[in-house]
Amino acid sequence: MIKRTLFFGNPAYLSTKNEQLVVNFPEEGKAEVNIPIEDLGYVVLENLQITITNGLLMKLVQNKTAVITCDKQHLPCSLLQPLVGHTEQTERMRHQLNASLPLKKNLWQQTIEAKIENQANHLLKREKNALKLKRWAKEVKSGDTGNHEAIAAAHYFQSLFENVENFSRNQKGIPPNNLLNYGYAILRAVTARALISSGMLPSVGIFHKNKYNAFCLADDIMEPYRIYVDSLVYDLVETGGNISDLTTNLKTELLSVPAMDVLLDGKWSPLMTAMSRTTNSLYECFSGESRKILYPEFN
């Protein structure tokens, strides 16, 4: 079953009763809303005047619902997840922490190959030249010592948004960077949720190692999935509408990322489901059961 994503952009009082999320609005005339907690995968809290009870937080965490809070710039800034995400968590974390350097370099090679291949396929879908990306995907070595990820990314974004004047991929850059930032933040939460559910530490990466980053592994594993955010943002840009501000309508579109259709290992499924299969395959690599991570194929 596809889990629902709820977005709260207005003041609200959130509580629980009979295994339901109960929503009450301060404004007069709005009826109480009840939603089954078991149906929820993600709850995004944006408005600073939202009140949520501890009883509801407890039930959401027990349901493995990711609770995402936003900062004053309306961007996701935190993620609430359970302390225990898997019954074999301790053993799984031990395998992750004991992973050898050659294994991690090989896993990073697979990750970047999949990412660049997906970028190439996206350009082809948009009837753009992808010859360089196709070649670079085949040239990635263990640990990506040639830094093909950065080289490919610069070329990819320049080609993808060639009609957007002065565009370059930069977190603080001109639109549609704002849309990409928001979409990637949602994707990061999806990845972290899947990693925790698979019994791993999202802070211990295979490539990213920033000591100030609590989501290094999530940032690693989400790389080949970024393409789905890129595709959605490209479609929003092509509509010709105003994208300078992150309106509620734009956020609603970007919050559909977890439910996007993804082809993984020959099977179609929602992105959030595919991500769980990817993180489970990652654990099997850490435990020695497999040598290959399952990543999506964009088409």
Is 284 annotated as contributing to ligand binding? no
Q: How far apart are CA 282 and CA 205, in angstroms?
A: 12
Sign (positive or negative) of CA dihedral 138, 210, 183, 96: positive
What string of H, E and C letters represents the secondary structure of the chain? CCCEEEEECCCCEEEEECCEEEEECCCCCCCCEEEEHHHEEEEEECCCCCEECHHHHHHHHHCCCEEEEECCCCCEEEEECCCCCCCCHHHHHHHHHCCCHHHHHHHHHHHHHHHHHHHHHHHHHCCCCCHHHHHHHHHCCHHHCCCHHHHHHHHHHHHHCCCCCCCCCCCCCCCCHHHHHHHHHHHHHHHHHHHHHCCCCCCCCCCCCCCCCCCHHHHHHCHHHHHHHHHHHHHHHHCCCCCCCCCHHHHHHHCCHHHCEEEECCEEEEHHHHHHHHHHHHHHHHHCCCCCCCCCCCC
Task: Report the candidate in 137, 242, 134, 246 with the shortest Cα–Cα distance to residue 186.
Answer: 246
Is 223 annotated as contributing to ligand binding? yes
Sign (positive or negative) of CA dihedral 252, 4, 217, 230: negative
Task: Report the candidate in 141, 137, 133, 135 with the shortest Cα–Cα distance to residue 105.
Answer: 141
- The residue behind tokens 């020695």 is 288
Q: Which residues are annotated as a binding site?
A: 149, 208, 223
Q: Which residues are annotated as a binding site for Mn(2+)?
A: 149, 208, 223
